[in-house]
Amino acid sequence: MHSLDLLITIGGALVAAFVGGLIARRLGLPTIVGYLLAGMVIGPFTPGFVGNVEAMGQLAELGVIFLMFGVGLHFSLRDLWAVRAVAIPGALVQIAIATALGFALTQMWGWSIAAGLVLGFAVAIASTVVLLRSLADRGLLNTVHGQVAVGWLVLEDLATIFILVLLPALFGSGQSASWQSVVSALVKAFAFIALMLLVGARFLPWLLTRIAFTRSRELFILAVVTVAVGVALGSAELFGLSLALGAFLAGAVLGESSISHQIGAEVIPFRDVFTVIFFVSVGMLVNPAYLVANIGPVLALTALIMIGKPFFTLLMGFVLPASAMTMLVTAAGRGQIGEFSFIVGQTGLSLGILTADQYSLILAGALVSIVLNPLLFRALPLTERTLRRFPALWARLDRHGTPPDLATPRLTNHVVVVGAGRVGKHIVNVLDRLGVPRLVVEIDAQRAVEFDQQGIPSLMGDAANSEVLTHAGLADARALVVTLPEEAATEVVVVAAREMAPDLPIIARAGTRSGVQRLYRSGAQEVVQPELEGGLEIMRLTLLTLGFPPEQVQPYTDAVRHDHYEMSIITRDEIQALATMGQTATE
């Protein structure tokens, strides 16, 4: 393919993804929906610009690598172990039931056994991206319900890796698999896992730590990308395994290192860009005409994903040691499929198990379920009230007690602190000493868990990029303090908070002089710029040292702050304060 054609394809894909993601976001839908639709728009089955499917498919391999590397980086066996009594048996049984139902559905359509199994595996696995976003947006990620749902998700991630190992062994030759091929695949997988856990877990963190000491950000980023791609390619070329397994294990061993947060921060741009390309490439394979002509199977598969999976998940609540509300949240989270289903489906497509039209059906089920999944979460209160109308049924389902309510514990007259870095943490500690109710909004999971362990209410999520702020009770809050280091993110939070609570006092941190003005215009009552505040403090101490009374110095510093630190302009309040101090100096 000509290099210019490749650039045109990539450019068209990125532009379409941007437009699609922006529209989806404005409509309150996950951006993944916009990316998939963008792929359909530039795909070969729709009129207009047509991207090169083969080139996008090759680039999508990098998307799979970075996507699975990111999943591995945030993978935690401790999270799974904490909820093992519910997540392990529940996830295994749910995967088995969903796979069996999907397989049975395909046999009614006349599919082959192999194709039916691939579809069954695909519909059994929920999307990590969609679930985490849904939980974070509703303030559930840091609750017992969210912990169980995430633990369940972790086991599904492991199951996906196992499936990706077995599929080539079972169906790679195009003939019936022998037990030798299955055993050989498992032996290679376990050998690779052992190598990564025994050698990679020691060598890779050591290597990246040494590179970090060079203080070269470019070298560090290059090293992280090389590790992610290199380990993935090594697993494929040397062990005959999938790229996804290698990337996942590379992320998993680095996720336990002391530099995991830095690695995650540096790999985010690569993960996001190539993941978008992956989703666009997936959408390019969807044939809208086939889906319209087969609307019956599309609706049946969607019903299995959105009704069948949640229903059987909820039924398991009668035997699993979890509260009714935990099972309701977990069931709602299972009512969709996404990126892992795409990866399983693409593996089936590359092995010749699925046809392009059959893969389109899986993609249609994913697209519809992702769009409609928020409705399942919104219906949770109604579902709870409906089940409570049958006391015997509810008592059995909720026999393990009722954990905290679905929403964030309702606070009143509290202070919301967005960002728990050095400054934010100090504010939280001072409020704690004073006995002032407070709620922390923090994107860093480790900090959020630390606050949780201290009994401090917290919401884990990005206040600037999700609806998590809607769960902070701003309408009932006493004040909002924004200590984020990123000025753009602070401005977004201030604007959103002002819309939610018009009378709420907002104190924000600015990074620049121009940022002070913008934050005031956005609705902040008080804006602090550390450098300018430091200069004002020097002025205050100078005046006190010269003998001016504190009660006269304070009005002057207050006047400067009220003037947004504009020290080149002498306002009436400043003139009056200086005149008062001048009289003191002449006396």
Q: What is the pLDDT of residues 300-318, one digit of tens each?
A: 999 999 999 999 999 998 9
Across 241-246, average pLDDT? 81
Taking only the tens place, the pLDDT of each residue in 126-175 is 887 778 777 867 777 667 788 888 888 878 878 888 888 888 877 765 54
Final residue of a domain: which of 481, 504, 528? 528
User: Can you give the pLDDT at residue 16?
Assistant: 92
User: Can you give the pLDDT at residue 543?
Assistant: 83
User: Can you give the pLDDT at residue 105?
Assistant: 94
User: Can you give the pLDDT at residue 465?
Assistant: 60
Lowest-confidence pick of 9-23, 144-158, 315-329, 425-439: 144-158
Residue with tokens 């994107």: 443
> Per residue in 40-54, is it b (16+ CB within 10 Å) or e — as a string?
bbbbebbeeeebbbe
Decide if 266 is inside a domain. yes
Q: Are 210 and 265 found together in one domain?
A: yes
Positive or negative, the CA dihedral 567, 571, 574, 575 is: positive
Cα distances (angstroms) measured from residue 65 to each of 11, 51, 279: 21, 22, 13
Taking alpha carbons only, the member of 248, 244, 297, 314 closest to residue 119 is: 297
Final residue of a domain: which of 528, 557, 576? 528
Q: Which residue has the higher pLDDT, 492 or 531?
A: 492
Q: Are 523 and 540 found together in one domain?
A: no
Q: Are 261 and 373 found together in one domain?
A: yes
pLDDT greater than 50 at residue 405: no
Rg (CA), the chain: 28
Decide if 434 is inside a domain. yes
Q: Are 233 and 322 found together in one domain?
A: yes
Average pLDDT along the chain: 83
Taking only the tens place, the pLDDT of each residue in 83-119 is 788 888 999 999 999 999 999 999 999 999 999 999 9
Instruction: Provide the 10 A C-beta neighbour count for residue 136.
Output: 22
Percentage of the chain surpassing pLDDT 70? 91
Across 10-24, average pLDDT? 90
Decide if 193 is inside a domain. yes
Domain CATH number, residue 372: 1.20.1530.20
pLDDT greater than 70 at residue 357: yes
Decide if 79 is inside a domain. yes
Decide if 406 is inside a domain. no
Helices (H), 27-140: 31-41, 53-73, 77-82, 84-109, 113-124, 128-137
Q: Are 368 and 230 found together in one domain?
A: yes
Q: Are 538 and 502 found together in one domain?
A: no
Decide if 404 is inside a domain. no
Q: Are 461 and 555 found together in one domain?
A: no
User: Can you give the pLDDT at residue 505?
Assistant: 93
Structural domain range at position 546: 532-586
Final residue of a domain: which of 488, 510, 528? 528
Q: How far apart are CA 383 and CA 361, in angstroms?
A: 29
Q: Are 420 and 555 found together in one domain?
A: no
User: Can you give the pLDDT at residue 566?
Assistant: 65
User: Can you give the pLDDT at residue 575?
Assistant: 73
Q: How far apart are CA 568 and CA 579, in angstroms?
A: 17
Number of domains the chain is built from:
4
Q: How far apart are CA 456 and CA 501, in angstroms?
A: 23
Decide if 60 is inside a domain. no
Taking alpha carbons only, the member of 127, 125, 122, 90 closest to residue 106 is: 122
Lowest-confidence pick of 178-187, 347-356, 478-487: 178-187
Q: Which residue has the higher pLDDT, 570 or 127?
A: 127
Q: How far apart are CA 357 and CA 374, in angstroms?
A: 27
pLDDT tier for residue 586 given thresholds of 50, 70 and 90: low
Q: Are 153 and 167 found together in one domain?
A: yes
Which of 52-58's residues contact partners 24+ apart within 8 Å by CB, and which partners?
A: 52/1, 52/5, 52/6, 52/9, 53/281, 53/284, 53/285, 54/1, 55/1, 55/5, 55/6, 55/9, 55/10, 56/9, 56/13, 56/277, 56/280, 56/281, 56/284, 57/281
Q: Are 554 and 513 found together in one domain?
A: no
Decide if 402 is inside a domain. no
* Contact (Cβ atoms closer than 8 angstroms) between residue 237 and residue 247: no
User: Can you give the pLDDT at residue 408?
Assistant: 41
Q: Are 134 and 81 found together in one domain?
A: yes
User: Can you give the pLDDT at residue 404?
Assistant: 43
Q: Which residue has the higher pLDDT, 134 or 506?
A: 506
**Most confident of the following: 176-180, 295-299, 526-530, 532-536:** 295-299
Q: Are 98 and 35 found together in one domain?
A: no
Residue 506 β-bridge partners: 480
Across 548-559, average pLDDT? 81
Across 18-41, average pLDDT? 88
